[in-house]
């Protein structure tokens, strides 16, 4: 969840202003994703995920998961990058920067600090 360009929330909250503009393609489609890179460290998994329908950061997201294996994440048919209580949710997200590698490096430092 967060605020996107122009102060528009990227959250799927029903309590937005009635006349707020809608940006097509701003929110990633959880059913349309490609895992581009991954790293499993202890009980954590770092993913670089591409959401082709999303326009910010060229659709790339760096996500950190805890308590679910890489194998099980790869089996999912839906992967929502937003924080939520009702779904498999990342514990952290990082900006991908250039091709996601800088974001993956930041996520690795974060995970190593948790271990």
In tens, the pLDDT along 66-106 reads: 999 999 999 999 999 999 888 899 999 998 876 668 889 99
Short-list 48, 41, 94, CA closest to 69: 41
Q: Cβ–Cβ contacts within 10 Å for residue 2, how many? A: 10
Strand partners, 60: 50
pLDDT category at 27 given cuts 50, 70, 90 is confident
CA–CA dist 55, 57 (Å, integer): 6
pLDDT category at 56 given cuts 50, 70, 90 is confident
Strand partners, 38: 47
Q: Given this model, what pLDDT does residue 70 score? A: 97
CA–CA dist 10, 15 (Å, integer): 12
Q: Cβ–Cβ contacts within 10 Å for residue 80, how many? A: 21
CA–CA dist 104, 38 (Å, integer): 9
CA–CA dist 100, 60 (Å, integer): 7
Domain boundaries, the chain: 26-114
């Amino acid at each position: 969840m967060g605020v996107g360009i122009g102060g528009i929330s990227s959250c799927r909250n029903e309590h937005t202003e009635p006349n707020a503009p809608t940006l097509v393609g701003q929110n990633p489609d959880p059913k349309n994703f490609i895992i581009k890179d991954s790293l499993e460290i202890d009980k954590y998994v770092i993913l670089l995920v591409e959401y082709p329908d999303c326009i910010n950061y060229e659709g790339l997201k760096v996500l950190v998961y805890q308590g679910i294996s890489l194998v099980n994440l790869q089996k999912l048919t839906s992967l929502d990058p937003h924080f939520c209580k009702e779904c498999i949710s990342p514990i952290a997200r990082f900006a991908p920067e250039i091709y996601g590698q800088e974001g993956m490096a930041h996520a690795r430092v974060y995970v190593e600090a948790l271990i």
